[in-house]
Amino acid sequence: MSGRPELVFNIDPDEYVDLPLYRSRGGFSALKKALASVPESSIGEIKASGLRGRGGAAFPTGKKIEMVRSSSVLERFIICNADEGEPGTFKDRFIMTHLPFQLIEGIAIAAYLAGASEGYIYVRHEYSEVQSKLHAAIRDAIGADLLGDNILGSGYGLSLKIFSGAGSYLCGEETALLSSIEGRKGRPRLKPPYPTESGLWNRPTLINNVETLANIPKILEKGAQWYRSLGTPDSRGTKLISMSGDIQKRGLVEVPFGITFAEIIGRCGDGPKPGRTIKAVNIGGASGVLVPPRMLDTPLEYKACAEAGITIGSGAVFVLDDTRSILQNVRNRIRFFLHESCGKCTPCREGLRQANIILNKLAAGSAGKNDIAALERYTRAMQDASFCGLGQAAGNSLRSSLSYYRKEYSDCCRKNGKTDHKEESA
């Protein structure tokens, strides 16, 4: 750790921070500070820090806590969304396995500030090791009076439980997650009302991502001004980036907002493999976009990325070199979403099915250019009319690849030498 500036997570892949080590580094001092002051003071500090949700939506965290606290309904819940079903994303898993007490402290602080006395960590079923480590960490925290009926002698209590999801990507959507905990099908609900008003069992519920909650202890420990100094005026703090694909150094890195994607890939990932060049980069996971190398000078900032049409999402960065097929990459993603779609709404269900049919035709060399036009129509329909975020985001890689790599689609139409008869008559 020496020689490196202190960030929020200070990643060391070989280190497991147990309770004694975490406390020796100042762990749970932020919780003690929050319990000793009025909640409004700590909420104000979180709002001043500029922390936004790190699960993809980027909603201001302090504001969300405040919304739950202001409810007239006294029974409230907190849920940590640890479903992490986005392919190519593994940041939350690292926090839960290596820094579990930083997460637990963040949950306890957020729960106290929101006025919640019962909470859940919703962990995907496939994360069995994570669940085991979290169970052990919760037991240790209860034994040290950091969870339970009387936290640090304050009179405030929080019961925290692990809920194992059933392996559905859709349960990463917060209202589908609520339905899953309630014992029903993990399908999204109509919003509004939002979970902050009517969430788990129709009670006000604070739902935040693992990375978001784990930011909170450092903010209260070191202050909003320290946190703001790590990022940019538009985007405060740091972001965990899950790096994979055709680069020399894969893994998890923590970077301050403002760094460019080219710097992330070059400095943190050591660039493409020897003799290879970057063809495209998928940013934001399977629900993110594919961008060409010329766009990698875009800074990691919410506004700059939005203006460039880049979705930061969960912070996954997957690099494709010049040996990769764009069509095959997109085809894999559409297949994934087709499998994960709940089928509730027609735009998502039928849009994905038709897109998959056309992509298969393109891969077989039997598609015409009118099929590409149809592909664009289906994508627009999915993004404009789908009920939930799955269908709305499922076409991101398809839409962006059609914008930047359209020639690959056109080349597939000509591969077998056939010409579309409708095009000839047009």
pLDDT in the model for residue 297: 98
> What pLDDT is recorded for position 293?
97
* pLDDT of the residue at 4: 62
Check residue 380 and give its pLDDT: 93
Domains in the chain with CATH codes? 19-228 (3.40.50.11540), 238-321 (3.10.20.600), 326-415 (1.20.1440.230)
* The pLDDT of residue 422: 41
Looking at residue 168, its pLDDT comes to 87
pTM, entire model: 0.94
Residues in the chain where the model's pLDDT stays below 50: 1-2, 415-426
Give pLDDT, residue 344: 86
Quick one: three-class SS letters along the chain?
CCCCCCCCCCCCCCCCCCHHHHHHCCCCHHHHHHHCCCHHHHHHHHHHHCCECCCCCCCEHHHHHHHHHCCCCCCCEEEEEECCCCCCCCHHHHHHHHCHHHHHHHHHHHHHHHCCCEEEEEECCCCHHHHHHHHHHHHHHHHCCCCECCHHHCCCCEEEEEEECCCCHHHHCHHHHHHHHCCCCCCCCCCCCCCCCCCHHHCCEEEEEHHHHHHHHHHHHHCHHHHHCCCCCCCCCEEEEEEEECECCCEEEEEECCCEHHHHHHHHCCCECCCCCEEEEEECCCCCEEECHHHCCCECCHHHHHHHCCCCCCCEEEEEECCCCHHHHHHHHHHHHHHHCCCCCHHHHHHHHHHHHHHHHHHHCCCCHHHHHHHHHHHHHHHHHCCCHHHHHHCHHHHHHHHHCHHHHHHHHHCCCCCCHHHHHC
